[in-house]
Structures are given as C-alpha cells and as structure tokens.
Chain A
Amino acid sequence: MIHSLFLINCSGDIFLEKHWKSVVSQSVCDYFFEAQEKAADVENVPPVISTPHHYLISIYRDKLFFVSVIQTEVPPLFVIEFLHRVADTFQDYFGECSEAAIKDNVVIVYELLEEMLDNGFPLATESNILKELIKPPTILRSVVNSITGSSNVGDTLPTGQLSNIPWRRAGVKYTNNEAYFDVIEEIDAIIDKSGSTVFAEIQGVIDACIKLSGMPDLSLSFMNPRLLDDVSFHPCIRFKRWESERVLSFIPPDGNFRLISYRVSSQNLVAIPVYVKHSISFKENSSCGRFDITIGPKQNMGKTIEGITVTVHMPKVVLNMNLTPTQGSYTFDPVTKVLTWDVGKITPQKLPSLKGLVNLQSGAPKPEENPSLNIQFKIQQLAISGLKVNRLDMYGEKYKPFKGVKYVTKAGKFQVRT
C-alpha cells in the first residue's frame, strides 16, 4: 500500500526518507513541489497528486509535509489517517513533531516506522504497543543505557499485540492511581453581520489521562447521555453497553488518550457566550478607514470568559493599523495582514474594545467586504451543552483510584462576519 515516505520541511528540503518496498527516487517529490508552487498557500496543496508512475498522498502537520508514495489503488483516507497517526506517534515520543526532533531522534524514528508498517501495510500503530517495542527517549534512560549497554528496543512481543485489548499493556504499576477526564467542548459558529447565528454547533471530546495499575475496567456514565448525538469511540469502548445503556464501559489504555468525541444533537439551541459589536468602514477615495470592535458576554452561565483572542485577516490594501485597546494588547503584521488582539478576561463592568484608524494603500479601490473576525475564548468549569458526568466506577482492581473530571468550553471555528 504505502511504498515510501518522505518528510519535507517548509523550505522544501527532503530530510528523511523511508522505503518499505523497493527504493523510489527522491525525484518523485518534484511533482509534489510543482503542486506546492501552484497552490501558493501550503493549505491549498492537494492531498492527492497523480504522477505518471506513482500517486502522492500528503499531509501537512506542524510545518512539515509527510509525503507518501503509492503505486496502486488504496483508499486515500487510509493513507491520510495513517500519516496522521505517524505524526501523532512522533508527537507522543518526542514531545513535538518538528524537524529538529525528528533529526535528533532519527534512529528511533526509523525503528518506529519499521514497526508501524510492514510492506506498506500498518502493523502496529497503538502507542502502548510501540512503547513496549521501542522505548521513548528520556534523559535518564539514555544515561542508564550508555552505562549498562542495554537498549531501547524490547525483545519480546508486546503483550497487547496478542490480546484482544491491544491498546493496553500488562503489568502497569502506579503508586498513585489516578484517572482524570477532561470534557472539552468547542462551539463552532458563524454569526452574521446583524449578530444572528447562521450556524452553530457544539463538538466535544473527552480526553482521559489514566494512570491506573493492573487491568482496571471502568464505566463512566452521564447524567444526560441523550445529549450526545453522534459519537465516535476509542476502540476500547464497548459499543454494546453504550447502545443498550448509554454507559461508557472500557478497559483504558495507559496514559493519555481521547476517549470519545461527540457532537451535540442539533435540535438543542446553542448558547453563544459572547457577542461582538463592530463597525468597520473604509472610506471611499481616501486612504483611511475606521475600525471599532467591542466584545461583551452573553449567555455565559455565570462563568467568566477568559483567554479571548480576536484574529482578523485584513484586506490586502490595508497598510497599517493604528488602534487603541481598552484592555489587552494587539499586533498587526503588515506582511500577512493579520490583526491579533489578545483580550484576556471579560469584566462585564467595562467591556473591552479596540478602536482606531486603518491606513489603506492610497489609490487602491476600497475593499469590497469587511473582514470576518475569528474569536477564541475559553470558559473553565462549564460544558456549554450541559453534559455532566454522573459517576465513574472501577471494577477488576481492588485499590481506590483518585478520580477527577474537568469541564472546559472553548471556541472552535467561531467566526463573526462583519
């Protein structure tokens, strides 16, 4: 399936290659560079490119391109999903998925890639299994290894590989047994000029950090499971239990993982926690415009809205902006034309606003449309959909774990059209 993989950095250098079948020359990437040039923006490079002898499927992650070479028909999502999994694994092993990290750990990267694919077909992609086969680099381990001469490579088949719970390794031990769940909800919304909601939706995930010894069997239940409309599960979740009782029952992987992601049913009205008052205008035949936005809380369930950032992609003709914020700080990058306003918290007594003048390129026609505002915010201890975890039970082990649930609401793709 996957023939070869090339890692390419932003400046177009191929800094790593790996072949699972016979070697494919680097020159195949020229087609990719060609497409990249045509696309202008990295975001617009088509993920699937056809060349005379091969097909290139690529992903763009953390300023790196993962370009895989394919020779025969294969579901493109299969490859894309796998490449993302590779990037996730790097992230997991090295803390970041960057060129420097990969170059520093090139041997581990190679060993990982060797285990993850055999003849182009995925072999082991579960992080728990991989970590047993190839231990992640830590400073302590490298010191110990250099003294004792032991290696980073496991010599027995990971237990998970053969069991029917491949995601968990056997013999996990912790002194403090803890299980944390983060319920993170994101509001995707498009708000139109007049402030009415064009489209709004809540997407959520439950990320878990489980540090429990042995083989714990957990079940997590909700006060209002019906809220979850469309759910996708980590493979550890027993689908049957969910279908019949709406309880998440699972033997968790060890460490951090995403338990479920869900969408809240669309019938429920979505509370929009902030509003924006805006007036942006560009004067005809003059080289300046006015810019004025104010943010205020709305339907915030009594919680503070924090971490507010407003990002605006200004039109090309804008040369500079001269603004005064009542709160926080702003930057305007004259090259990318991106205005970023870091607001911080909203205090209802004094609403934050950003006012000032916009300098336009003289002589150029005034922009057709006002830019839309992308807003980021965060509300702690609130799941905006009202989802609540009812209880977490553990079976199969005797000790008493420490349990914790945290709720956060964030803005997802939250856009205000002006």
Chain B
Amino acid sequence: MSSNSFSYNEQSGGGEAAELGQEATSTISPSGAFGLFSSDLKKNEDLKQMLESNKDSAKLDAMKRIVGMIAKGKNASELFPAVVKNVASKNIEIKKLVYVYLVRYAEEQQDLALLSISTFQRALKDPNQLIRASALRVLSSIRVPIIVPIMMLAIKEASADLSPYVRKNAAHAIQKLYSLDPEQKEMLIEVIEKLLKDKSTLVAGSVVMAFEEVCPDRIDLIHKNYRKLCNLLVDVEEWGQVVIIHMLTRYARTQFVSPWKEGDELEDNEKNFYESDDDQKEKTDKRKKPYTMDPDHRLLIRNTKPLLQSRNAAVVMAVAQLYWHISPKSEAGIISKSLVRLLRSNREVQYIVLQNIATMSIQRKGMFEPYLKSFYVRSTDPTMIKTLKLEILTNLANEANISTLLREFQTYVKSQDKQFAAATIQTIGRCATNILEVTDTCLNGLVCLLSNRDEIVVAESVVVIKKLLQMQPAQHGEIIKHMAKLLDSITVPVARASILWLIGENCERVPKIAPDVLRKMAKSFTSEDDLVKLQILNLGAKLYLTNSKQTKLLTQYILNLGKYDQNYDIRDRTRFIRQLIVPNEKSGALSKYAKKIFLAQKPAPLLESPFKDRDHFQLGTLSHTLNIKATGYLELSNWPEVAPDPSVRNVEVIELAKEWTPAGKAKQENSAKKFYSESEEEEDSSDSSSDSESESGSESGEQGQSGEEGDSSEDSSEDSSSEQDSDSGRDSGQENKRTAKRNSKAKGKSKIVLGSPKIEKEKKTKQDRTPVAKDVSLLDLDDFNPVSTPVALPPPALSPSLMADLEGLNLITIFTNSSFFSFSHVTPVFVPTKTHVLLHRMSGKGLAAHYFFPRQPCIFGDKMVSIQITLNNTTDRKIENIHIGEKKLPIGMKMHVFNPIDSLEPEGSITVSMGIDFCDSTQTASFQLCTKDDCFSVNIQPPVGELLLPVAMSEKDFKKEQGMLTGMNETSAIIIAAPQNFTPSVIFQKVVNVANVGAVPSGQDNIHRFAAKTVHSGSLMLVTVELKEGSTAQLIINTEKTVIGSVLLRELKPVLSQG
C-alpha cells in the first residue's frame, strides 16, 4: 500500500474527527494525521472490519493506521483481539506490523497475548532463519510472565541454532527474559556460557551485552574466551565492539598487574588516586622482580589499537578509555590524536569527548599538549562546548604556553557571550594560581578588566581578584584602593560584597580608605542587597576592632540599622557582632578574642578544576559524564597486587581442539606431550638447532616436530596435528613478547614433565578429573618455549577449519605490531626470538642459564642494556643461593646484578633481569655465576644490534641528521638478493631482527630507513636500505660510532642478502 494514499486516508479521517469534535487531543500535530481513533469507537469499528476482511490490502491498511496510532502514543489496546488474529498472516508485512503491535500491548492484555504463542512456537521451527529469528524476538519481547518456561526453552534451542543470526537473537532474548524473571538467572548463565564460546563475530557483541546485564561479576566465564574475544574484536560489528571493549577493560583490571611503573608516575603532575597505593607496593615488589607484561594483557592492548581508526565515535572512545585504564602510560599517548579527531564531529560527540579529555588532561598534561590549538574556542561554538574547551586549556596551561594562552584568553574575555567571558576570567584566575610566574601579569590583566563596561565581567574579575589576593598576602594596596573606588559604580552584589570583604580583611593596609568606605556604605546600607549588608557589618566590625577611634560611631550606627533590618539573617548577625565587639558588662570571655576571631588568617581558597574528582569513574561512561554513579555502573577495580593465575585463560584452546578432533583424545594428548618433552630435551642439548628453528619460521619447526611425532607415538598424524594446531592457534593469537614471568610460573609445573613420565601420568589423571581446568598440551608448549623463546612462534600448518581465522590473526599480529611501535618512543619494534646460552646444564652441574635481550630500556640505569636471564634447575635437588660472584669487566663497563636467589626448586626455573653498561662496545662481560657450592665462569658478549635503542623520528629529521653524519661517519655496502626479499615487510623483519632499531616512516617505496641511538652514549645510528635497479640494494649506515657502525653493517649485510 502506498504511503501516499495512506496518509491521504488519515487526513480525510482527521478532518472528519475534528468536525465531530470527538478528538481527544489535537494539540500534538497540526495535521492531526493519526490522532483520531483513541476515543472514536466508530472508527475502531471500521478498523476491526478491515482487519477481519479477507483482503490483505485492507488488513495492511488497517495495520498501518494502527501503527500510526502507536507511534503517536495513542491507545490502541482495544483492537487487540482483532489484531492478534492476524499474527499468522502469510503477508510478511502484515505479520511484522502485528508483531510491532503485540510487543507494544501484550503486557496489558496478557491473556489474549497467549493466543499468539503457538504461532511463534511454530515459526521457531521455520526453515527461514529470518522468520525463526524474528519469532524469537517477538516471543521474548512479549512481557508475559506466564510464558517464561516457553521462552527459556526457545532461547536454549535458539542458542544451538545453526544460523549465527538466530543465535545473536538468542543472546538478546537472554536479557529480555532476565528482566522479566530474574529467577532464571542460573539457567541463563548456562546459555551465556555456551554462547560465549561461539566463534561467530555476529554473536560476540550480543552475548557480551547479555553477560554484562545478567552476570557481570562472573568474570570466570570470560577467562576461556578472553583470547578469542580479543582476536575477534576487529571483525565484530561496531556496537558489539564498544560493549566488548568496556567489558575487557574491567576484566583486565582484575586479571593483570599494573603496568604503571614508578618512572611513569613522575610524569604525572598529580598522583592519581588508584595508582598511589598500588605503586607503593610495586616499589617494594620491584626489587624482587621487574615488571613484565602478561602477553594476554599485551594482546588486548594491541588488538584494540586499529579500532582507534573506527568511524564510530563510541568505538574510538571505548578504545581510548581502555588505553587510559590499562595500558602502560607511555603507550596511552596514541589515543590523543584520535580523540582530537572526534572534535570535528557534531556537538553532542564533542561534548562527551571534551569532558573525557578534561579529565585526562588533569592527570597527564603531556598527552594533549601538542593539540593545544585544537581546543581554541570559536565564537560559533555553543557555550557548553566553549566552557569545556576553556577547562581543558586551563589544565594544559604551563610555563611554556601560558603567554600564548593568555593572549587567547584576552580575546575570549571580550566575547559577546558573557557567560563565557565570565568563565574565562575564572580561568585566568586559575592559571594565575597554578603558574606562579604569571600571577602578577594575570592580576594586572584582571585589574584592567575592572574598568570594563560590562558589569558581569567586572563582577567576575572582582571575585577572582579577591581570591588571588587572598592567596598572596603581599602588598596589593594599590589594587585594593582601585577596587574601593569601584564601589561607586559597580552594582552587582557579589562583586560589592567581595570588595567590602577585601577591604575589611586588609583594613590595616589601607587605613585611610577603609573608614571612608564604611562611611559611604553606612549611607547606602538600607538599599543594599542582603549579601552586601552582611559584608558591611563585617567591615564595620573589623574596623571597630582595629581603628575604633575613627569608626566607633559609624559602626554603632550600622549595627543599629542592622538591628531593625527586615532580614532575620542580618538581624541575627547584628546581634552577634554587637555582643562580640562592643564591650559591656555582660560580654563574656569571647569578646577578648574578638580581634583574633575576625582577623584570623584565612586559608586561601583553592581554585580547582570541576573535573578533578571525576577520574574515579571509568572514562566514557554515563557516570563519568554526569559525575554521579548511574544505576548499573560497574566499578573498575584496582589492579591486583599479584596477577591471578594466567593459565586459566588457556583452557579454551583444548576445548576448541576437542571440537575439531574426533573422539579418543586422552591417549593422544598423553603421547603428544611425551613428544614435546622429548623434543625439548633434544633441543636442550643442541641449542643452535632450536634457535634456527624458531627464527627461520614455520617450516623447519613444523617438520621437525611432526617427524618426531611419528617416532614417538603411533597415533594418527591427523589427530596430533590438530592438537598442535590448537597450541599454535593460541600462540599465534597471543603476543609472547615477554613471557618471562609467565614462563617461570608455567614452567614451575611443566618442567616436571622432563624425563619423568611418572609425574606426567599423575598430571594426566588430574586432568582427567578436571578436564576444563588443565591444559596439558599448553603446558608442554610453555615447556618448549624457554628454549626457543616464546616470541614469534613458527606459524604452523593449521587444520583447514581453523586456518582462516588464525591466518588473519597472524597477519594482524605482525602488521599492527610494526605500526604500533614505530611511532612510540623507545618501545622496541620487535623483540627477536633468540636466546643465548649463558651456562649449559652439563657444565653447570644441573644449573642451566639462558639469557636474552628484551630490548627494553634498562630500569637499573639508562646507559645499561637490559638482559633477562632464565635459570633452570635440572637437578633433582634444590639449588641454593644463586648469585653473581666475581666480575671481570673491561674498563668502564658496569653491571647491575640481580638479587641473589635463595633457592631454586628442582625442575624450577626463574627469570631475573640485570643490566650491563657495555660502553657501546662488543667487548665481553665476564663474571661468575655462583651457587651455594659452586662457581661457574660465564660471559655475555652482546650482539651489536642490542647496543641500540630505537628512536622515533620523522623522515625530515632523519635526512637532516643523515646529512650531518657523512664522510667518515658513513659506511655502506651493496647487497644482492632476490627481489622477493626486498619487499618492505621482509626488509623490516630482517633489520629489526638483527638490531633494535625503529622504523622511520618513509615517503618513498624504495627507501627504508631505520633509526636508533646507542645505549651508552646516545649517538644516533641511522640505517638506510635503498633498493636499486635489478636485485641490488644499497645499505648505508651513518653514525658517529664508526666501529659499531661497521660491525652492524657486517652483520646486516649477510642477513639482508640471504634468502
């Protein structure tokens, strides 16, 4: 039916109704289009007839008119019986409109609504997924308690539906049922648990929403799905992303330890409230072990980063708050750019974003300082936006930019929007108190404003000046005199009161003027505002106490006036003051102290940001916007002191694997595990092979493993390979950059496996008992890790079903990785896989030690290279008192040793970190690694690439620096290699693998630039790879440290030229 003819019908009907005068309310719209049926029985009769006709077009027409009524908010409930009959209509549009009607009125007509239920139950079995889904939607939207069991059943069935769209609707239905009948919670949680495992991106957002509504405290349900959610996040629809990110933020705050280091804290102007106590503890912890981020924590931070680029402001804000709340402070900076971008959006978005920026800018000024000018106010901004911008500008003000800002403020003060001008004056006041250098300038500026034509401006200035003077008890007699003169002209009560108070407070500084002011005020007392009268009384009292000779009579006159004032407050005050200051026989002990009471040193008021305390609300939430705790606000917990067991997140993998592999799991797991432990042993003895394996990527590692597997077990290769898949799937998803800590834990358990099948069996049985809690293959993988290090695991061959998912993720991992770090300051671009043997277990009497370079700025000293040492006890007894003994270091070299380790359990391992200042040379650091009984001489020789720290610079800077480092400082070589090795990503990978350098964004496709500085001296190290014609390339290194430069060149050259 056409909308035109439809509206025509309505209008003609409307006219009729108006004529009949039966229209109940026609105020709402002039056309009165659909507002005629509420009281008109005859019309409803007409509709009923139409609904009962056997022509679809008539029915449709009737339904459209009814929907029109609903839209207007008119009551159409009496048509219920007629409408509900059509629920089984074949015409999809009629059906939809009937659904709309049902959902609206079922609650009021419960009995009749039951008539429709069987139709929905039938539709739930329909082969068309859209019909199934919409039946479920309507069924669950009918708020009739009697059908709760039917709904429950329908939800359960739909949650197992083949169509993800139906499952999505099932997730929505969960919330509806829960709000209808909270008793069903337990059952619903089961469904949520099931749907959380769903791998469809369509379902993820909806089920997390249901989770948040029904059981936000059941954080344990998330563990197993955490990694999956992180990995799916990019592909989830935008609304789901927002919900998931908010939920994961809360999750992360309960599961990981704080990444905020003490060093970071110094950047903060003020300690933020939740970190203060955490950090205290951290400080004490820190001595024991350095902070390493849980790879899962890193995974979340990394996977959300691309979403900053979303077109949806809500998603960007959600990521921003995630970074704010859970990322290391050094990384949170990237969100500012995106937030500033949102300021181009419409005013509502601006409003919310500016509020959040205001809160952020109080704590971390540095983040938004580069964007200062983006907060400049335009005269066309709405006032609420203007004031928020002003707030942010104030927060960002510092010694460096204050002069620019004050100039900007001068423009604002003159604004026609007086409310805004007044806010600017307060802002100037706040800047004046915050930045001592400009206090006088501001004060002078404000005094100038006193001669402004606009009263509001003057009044506001007086109030602010009053506050400023109060804070600065220095001599400001001139200003006070000036203000005293203003009393003649200014009429705003607050301002007059402020001036009087000021004069009273400083009456001894202006002994000549004060009594005169009092005289004038006495004259005008009766016509003053109450506020001013109170201050006149105050002034009188103060003068009486300090200068009673001149003012005694005046004061008494004023007190008499006050005694008969109309306002009881003033009469009260008068009585009180008289008793206090005028000595008489009845006056008690208090009057002796009158002077002290009146002229006491008053504390200066604090001019604070209204956004000061907002940070205890999670950013981006409704509560934060309103600054009140909204219903259903979920508190963001503090970081735990000790991270809960990270392995709880592992389980999902095996569950996944179970889904993919046929039966007969247990035995295979067992054997697969055996295989891993064996291979580990093998690798232990031949480290070089493991190194090459992990570096050269998937093939060799994969082949080696599967080959061995064939030997060690009789199982079908298919099953065991799927087993592996699940492992690698997990690992490809996570970022094992710095797993040292986790390793140490995981290994604590898993090392048992080594050469002791008995224990292994034990564990096996344990696993049988609690199949969900323990993940055998995973532990094995950790076992495998420390040798070949956990970093970039070889992308393994995947079972076809998992292939698609994981491949994408892998790619994301690599790309986001590179982009992520290239812009941030000293964060390494890539941490290579390679570990080096410090002490072999054979020569160390069972104590094995490996070291690797985590490529992080050393916490022990900024000239040191940080090194992580993993110690393993391979004996069957405790090794006690592991420490570093005698050091034999070349001149100038320094070393920060790790704290002695009291004891290392058998099969145990521990990771410690130390720092060595190599003085920018590749000389060997030799020292002794001692236990209680033995001393072993060991040495560390750093690869030249590890003596560097990446720096971020622009191409322009790079070229400039390069121009200054020519001649002697430049070394170059020609490389010849196959073209496929010259793709940007390959070059990038190769270079960062060898050296800890940062990529410089390049404008040309054929030139790749990398920049770093040496750790000790901070000299720049610039690496350029320029692709030439054919398969050649030129490698150029510019640095002052020519020795290191040429060594680096020598190391890079073969790497780049090899295939």
Contacts and interface: CB of A to CB of B under 8 A. Distances in A.
Interface of A: 1, 13-19, 21-23, 26, 41, 43-44, 46-48, 50, 55, 58-61, 70-78, 80-82, 84, 103-111, 114, 118-119, 121-123, 125, 137, 139, 142-143, 145-146, 149, 151-157, 161-162, 164, 166, 188, 190, 192, 198-199, 201, 203, 224, 226, 229-235, 239-240, 243-245, 258, 261, 263, 266-267, 313, 315-316, 365-369, 371-372, 374, 413, 415, 417
A372 B28 contact: no
Given A80-B349, A368-B454, A15 B57 contact: no
Contact of A371 (B70, B416, B632): B416
A413 B374 CA distance: 12
Interface in B772-816: 811-812, 815-816
5 closest Cβ pairs, A-B complex: A72-B632, A142-B2, A369-B414, A151-B93, A43-B382
7 contacts: A73-B631, A75-B242, A104-B7, A107-B3, A111-B100, A123-B168, A151-B92
Given A76-B621, A122-B239, A313-B416, 16 more contacts: A17-B72, A21-B176, A73-B622, A73-B634, A75-B621, A81-B313, A110-B70, A119-B140, A123-B168, A125-B239, A145-B1, A146-B5, A157-B129, A157-B163, A230-B337, A368-B452
B879 interface: no
B371 to A, nearest CB: 8
Contact of A77 (B168, B306, B314): B314
Contacts of B625: 48, 76
Nearest to B629: A73
Contacts of B57: 146, 149
B68 interface: yes
Contact of B4 (A47, A142, A315): A142
B60 A369 contact: no
A205 to B, nearest CB: 10
Contacts of B29: 13, 15, 103
A164 B209 contact: no
Contacts of A80: 313-314, 348-349, 352
A392 B67 CA distance: 47
Counting chain B CB atoms within 10 Å of each CB, which of A21, A59, A122 scores highest? A122
A243 B306 CA distance: 9
Interface string B377-398: 0111011100000000000000
Contacts of A104: 3, 7
A365 B56 CA distance: 72
Contacts of B416: 313, 315-316, 367-369, 371
A152 B94 CA distance: 11
A77 B93 contact: no
A77 B339 CA distance: 12
A240 B173 CA distance: 35
Contact of B346 (A15, A59, A151, A153): A59
Contact of B352 (A47, A164, A245, A368): A47
B309 interface: yes
Contacts of A415: 378-380
A77 B175 contact: no
Contact of B238 (A76, A235, A243): A235
B69 to A, nearest CB: 10
A123 B4 CA distance: 29
Name the residue in A119, A145, A229 with the highest tally of chain B Cβ atoms < 10 Å from its Cβ: A119
Contacts of A61: 346
Contacts of B347: 43, 47, 60
Contacts of B104: 19, 23
Contact of A16 (B71, B383, B621): B71
Contacts of B411: 192, 417
Interface residues of B, number: 127
B638 interface: no
B209 A239 contact: no
Interface of B: 1-7, 27-29, 31, 33-34, 56-57, 60, 64, 67-68, 70-73, 91-93, 96-97, 99-100, 104, 107, 128-131, 133, 137, 140-141, 143, 163-165, 168-169, 172-173, 175-176, 179, 201-202, 206, 209, 234-235, 237-239, 242, 246, 306, 309-314, 316-318, 337-338, 340-341, 344, 346-349, 351-353, 370, 373-374, 376, 378-380, 382-384, 408, 411, 414-416, 452-454, 620-623, 625-626, 628, 630-634, 811-812, 815-816, 818-819, 954-956, 984-985, 1001, 1003
A77 B235 CA distance: 20
B93 A153 contact: yes
A121 B316 CA distance: 18
A368 B349 contact: no
Contact of B311 (A59, A164, A232, A263): A232
B100 A239 contact: no
B351 A374 contact: no
Contact of A203 (B100, B344, B352): B344
Contact of A156 (B128, B373, B956): B128
A157 B169 CA distance: 13
Contacts of B202: 161-162
A258 B312 CA distance: 12
